[in-house]
Structure 1
Amino acid sequence: MEPSVARYDERLTAPRTWWGIAALISLSGGLMLLPLGPLPLLGGLIGAGALAAAGVSSYGSARIRVVADSLVAGDARIPVAALGEAEVLEGEEAIAWRLHKADPRAFMLLRSYVPTALRVVVTDPEDPTPYLYLSTRDPRALLAALNAVRISSSGTGSGTGTGA
């Protein structure tokens, strides 16, 4: 596999219901301006709709990728060599790591509408971040991609990580 090809690529898109809510916001923006006439109604529809759609789109544009020897999660980019053990989180365990088990220093790419996650320990002594919490719809595939990078970069066939 070429180094420039992504081994894993996921976009954490917002659920369809959020787009329905954006449409309702657009409608309410138009209705608020209805007493002023048809042109303000149209302006309110378009303006409120554009703002609501931009908000939903930007929140749902977060990506998680494993490219070459790096993990790219949102705006963060970290070499896979600086990562340690990984743990697949599902159900109550994922919720616990979002709430009472969470460390304020952790990097969290958190999307409440994604019920599963991968928690990856950061082993770089220069980095104060203890771990990455990554909401992902397929944590086992992300773990497999991280392990594949570790194996290919070490050449020994032994990767770290738990799960899958």
Structure 2
Amino acid sequence: MTGAANGPPIVVVLGVSGSGKTTVGKAVAEQLGVPFVEGDDFHPAANIVKMSVGHALDDADRKPWLRALAERIRQSAKAREGLVIACSALKRAYRDELRSAAGGRLWCLYLALDRDTAWDRVSRRTGHFMPAGLVDSQFATLEALEPDEPGMTLDATVDLPAHLSRVRAAVAHCGERTGS
């Protein structure tokens, strides 16, 4: 599927921890026939340790993570390959950095979720370094998609098949803001 004249889209599935980024991202990648990348895999070990013990990351901590994500996106853009990447991308500045690396092909899928549902999901999750105690810090950092950012906002509590049909239609118009 080609969403932009210069190649298939690069989709960032973003939101706070517990919003379903990985689950939705894998399904979107499969539907689009492009690779899926888990953004958590790009965190330096020090970031994982810091979060595991209950300390929120700051912008300085996120810099090497964002650089690594941007480099992966740049590789796909240069090869004119599509990509779906799940990562929090909580701030506009982070998304701008990723958008720059994508050469204008970045489309964002923001999975919006309320604090209580996020906390509940994260507290029940096993085998992940992100403790529920950091959910509030993610909401404090979160900047929702702005009207000029190509992408769409979806309710993270909606059933996955409903997401997929809307996302596929929206990605076909990559480069446009498609509302909430």
Question: TM tier, shorter chain?
Answer: under 0.3
Normalised by the length of structure 1, the TM-score is 0.28
Which structure has more helix as a fraction of its residues?
2
Which structure has more strand as a fraction of its residues?
1
Normalised by the length of structure 2, the TM-score is 0.26
Over alpha carbons, which structure has the higher Rg? 1
